[in-house]
């Protein structure tokens, strides 16, 4: 089997709930996605998707993805899409760095390989560990009253896991988190996510003032060493996200004992191949794991679901349903969400049925 053609689409995906706000005035109105279709000489098509969260969240930006896909795609024509490790090495050889650009291409090859084998992607990723994964919802940055009201509304919808955005003015965030905790029932799982917005000094101030609140601290500072300095005096679990950009990063976190859990973003790591590699080793090393991405709709959410449900249940934290964040549709047979849990679609590969007419005209095509 050989890759015969590649198409790439640009799809802007506005948020259902309006602007997504983080600390320090960081805000986005939509995911700006690149969707890739890779078709083999046997007529099977695999799909991949990558969408940065604005230009501010990670070292990735939408225009860079579009430009990079055009550079890499010609080298993939004629390659066997099932040779996933070889595809990854080839992309790293012809295009140094920029793993986020390679993510959708890698994902499409995984989808194609699973469809060619007539099995769900979860089977190739190690097998299905449970029927569904628990979902969390985000309490975006806002005033104390806004955040408490949003948290209460989310719990009223049946969700039990909240990611509360912090990382701004420390004293204000102490009030915000305390108000959120007071607004939701005991037993609600709370993650306080600063998105690397604080210095160690600020993070310790926050942690000391919120000792009475039950939460997991997520990525308070930028570097692994900064987070480790906070962890030494912390009486709560810590999860790192932005610090995990490679296998070396994960191993460094393990050696230093800098975290109890990791959030693995598919595009930050360069695709499904490297995410699976890092996830499997991290599980064996004892980390708790969340697998998600920086954004996207049905295609990317399906990949997240397959990776989540092939993660051992006792090592899985939670998942997120990005396709419910956006106003546009790109596929049918989307990942099923029931209450506060998400499964995977029935069918081979990612299981979804992409509708090309919903994507518009390709901005790039070869083959």
Catalytic positions are: 165, 265
Beta strands in the chain (DSSP E): 3-14, 20-21, 27-28, 30-40, 45-50, 133-134, 137-139, 161-165, 189-193, 216-218, 238-240, 261-265, 288-292, 331-332, 337-338, 341-342, 353-354, 364-366
How far is it, in rounded angstroms, from Cα 211 to Cα 66?
45
Pair of tokens at residue 263: 């959030």
Spell 98-109 as b/e; 16+ CB within 10 A means b: bbbbbbbbbbbb
- CA distances 39 to 24, 66, 80, 94, 99, Å, are 43, 19, 11, 21, 22
Bridge partners, 115 (sequence order): none
How many CA atoms does the CB half-sphere of 26 hold within 13 Å? 18
How far is it, in rounded angstroms, from Cα 304 to Cα 320?
8
End-to-end CA distance of the chain: 15
72 touches 102 (CB < 8 A): yes
Pair of tokens at residue 308: 């989540």
The CA-based angle 355-356-358, given to 5 degrees, is 75
Classify residue 338 by burial, with Cβ atoms within 10 Å: 0-12, 13-18, 19+: exposed
């Amino acid at each position: 089997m050989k890759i015969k053609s590649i198409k790439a689409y640009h799809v802007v995906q506005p948020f259902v709930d309006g602007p997504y706000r983080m600390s320090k005035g960081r805000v986005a109105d939509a995911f700006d996605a690149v969707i890739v279709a890779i078709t083999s000489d046997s007529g099977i098509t695999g799909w991949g998707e990558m969408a940065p969260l604005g230009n501010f969240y990670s070292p990735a930006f939408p225009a860079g993805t579009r430009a990079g896909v055009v550079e890499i795609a010609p080298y993939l024509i004629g390659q066997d899409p099932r040779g996933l490790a070889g595809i990854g090495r080839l992309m790293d050889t012809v295009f140094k760095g920029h793993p986020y650009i390679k993510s959708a291409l890698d994902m499409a090859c995984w989808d194609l390989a699973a469809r060619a084998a007539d099995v769900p992607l979860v089977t190739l990723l190690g097998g299905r560990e449970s029927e569904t994964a628990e979902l969390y919802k985000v309490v975006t940055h806002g005033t104390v009253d806004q955040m408490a009201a949003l948290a209460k509304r989310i719990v009223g919808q049946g969700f039990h896991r909240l990611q509360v955005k912090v990382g701004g003015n420390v004293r204000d965030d102490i009030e915000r988190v305390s108000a959120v905790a007071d607004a939701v029932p005991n037993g609600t799982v709370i993650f306080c996510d600063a998105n690397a917005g604080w210095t160690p000094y600020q993070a310790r101030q926050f942690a000391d003032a919120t000792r009475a609140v039950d939460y997991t601290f997520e990525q308070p500072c930028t570097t692994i060493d900064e987070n480790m300095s906070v962890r030494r005096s912390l009486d709560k679990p810590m999860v790192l996200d932005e610090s995990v950009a490679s296998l070396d990063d994960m191993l460094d976190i393990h050696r230093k004992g800098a975290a109890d859990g990791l959030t693995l973003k598919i595009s930050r790591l360069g695709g499904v191949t490297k995410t699976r590699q890092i996830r499997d080793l991290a599980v064996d090393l004892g980390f708790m794991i969340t697998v998600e991405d920086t954004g996207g709709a049905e295609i990317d959410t399906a990949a997240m679901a397959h990776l989540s449900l092939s993660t051992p249940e006792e090592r899985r934290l939670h998942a997120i349903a990005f396709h419910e964040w956006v106003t546009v549709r790109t596929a049918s047979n989307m990942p099923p969400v029931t209450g506060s849990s998400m499964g995977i679609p029935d069918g081979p590969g990612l299981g979804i049925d992409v509708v090309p007419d919903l994507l518009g005209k390709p901005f790039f095509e070869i083959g």
